[in-house]
Amino acid sequence: MAHLLGFTKSDSLIEYQPLYTNMLGDIKDPRRDEDEELSSHSSSAMGLEEGGARRDWSQPTIQKSWRSRFSLGGRGSGRNGESESQRRARRREGWRWVGIVAVILTIFGVIAGGVYVTLVTILLRRLAPRPDHSGLHYIMDTWQEPDSNGAFKYEWRDDFSRDIEPKNCHSHNDYWRHVPLYAALTAGCVSFEADIWLTDDNELLVSHDWKSTKKTRTLRSLYLDPLMNIFENRNITTASEPVKDTGVFDMDPSASTVLLIDFKSDGAATWPVLLSQLEPFRKKKWLTYYDGETLHQGPLTIVGTGNTPFDLVQANSTNRYVFFDAPLVTISDGKYNTTNSYYASSSLKAAVGSLWFKTLSSSQNDQIKAQVKAAQDKGLNSRYWDTPGWPIGRRDEVWKKLIDAGVGMLNVDDLVSASRWNWGWCVVAGMALCGNN
């Protein structure tokens, strides 16, 4: 029985041995299964390691193959089995195609650039103001700085202001221009500005600051004497009947030009000197004046700003011919009116605050409209200075909003752009066509 069950007896020990019989089927030794499983895992791991080693070994070959395909030459770029002459030929072929592509792109670039320049040139010719020819243009071409003999002298021409339409623009810091006074008149601007300094010998020098003054650049040599010459020649007539005194512009002889005088030195000391220099104009009745009852408009209107003393402006109540530049922000003050003031001015920032991105917000635009209307209700001309000058598109946008709001006088630094260009076309195809003048 023990033999049948697989038991054997040896040295008093009974040892179990598995029997493989057809009756019980295949009965495997568990220890052998464990050994075989360990052996199988070991073989699999070795296989993976060998496979990984083979892949690592083959990777450089693949990378080399891709580099060789896209390389135009150089060390290590040859294909397997290529001779040196074949590699050189392949490099030459690659560089040849690079050259062809570069030439094609260059040709297209030149053509595109030529088309762009041509279109902009044609557009510029269509948009640019046509050149005018008048006596003022002749003066602009021949003008010279005043010297010890006084203002620049020229031969008068009857076409002095032919085809120049007067416009409500103010030439800010006019004395800085290449040709003071005449540049503003040529552009059609009816207003211009001069800063004056009183000297010890009672002369009025024109300059933005004292250190830049020159003895030859005086209020008389730059402005008063040239204006006197213009009015004298413009008012020569052979008509049998008296005619109204004529202003600067042929297209509107009744238009009054405005000389805004910025008192830089002491106002009280400067005042009598200015009045004495204006006396020749007053005697000829070429100045706008108030006689105590009526405001009489003349070819020239004098307005004081800066340190101009308002009390001295008010003092002469029967023959007032210098008017005040009133503060626009406080124009509601009852003391400012047409009998003593002409302008109502303010810097744009003081009037509406800082401009974000140099453009007016809707609330700022409403403020401007209210201020302009307040000045209009008093018969005064509103004016904003220190407006944006750049970018040109932003500048033009502010100009347009001021004009739409009904501003009395547009304060400008760029005369030609302001007076002769269509502001909507100052920037075309990325080019600023309206430059500073």
pLDDT tens for 217-239 read 999 999 999 999 999 999 876 55
Show Cβ contacts of residue 22 under 8 Å, excluding neighbours closer than 6 positions: none
* pLDDT for the residue 353: 95
Residues lower than pLDDT 50 in the chain: 1-28, 30-31, 37-38, 41-64, 66-67, 69-70, 76
Query: Which residue type sits at 251?
Result: M
In angstroms, what CA-CA distances link 81 with 33, 57, 85, 87?
Answer: 53, 20, 12, 10
* pLDDT for the residue 80: 66
Which of 194, 283, 297, 192 shows the shortest CA–CA distance to 252?
Answer: 297
Query: Which residue type sits at 202?
Result: N
* pLDDT for the residue 147: 94
* pLDDT for the residue 84: 86
* pLDDT for the residue 243: 60
* pLDDT for the residue 390: 86
The answer for 297, left when phi > 0, alpha when psi is -120 to 50, beta otherwise, is beta
- Between CA 348 and CA 385 the distance in angstroms is 6
- Between CA 137 and CA 133 the distance in angstroms is 6
Single pTM value for the model = 0.71
* pLDDT for the residue 62: 46
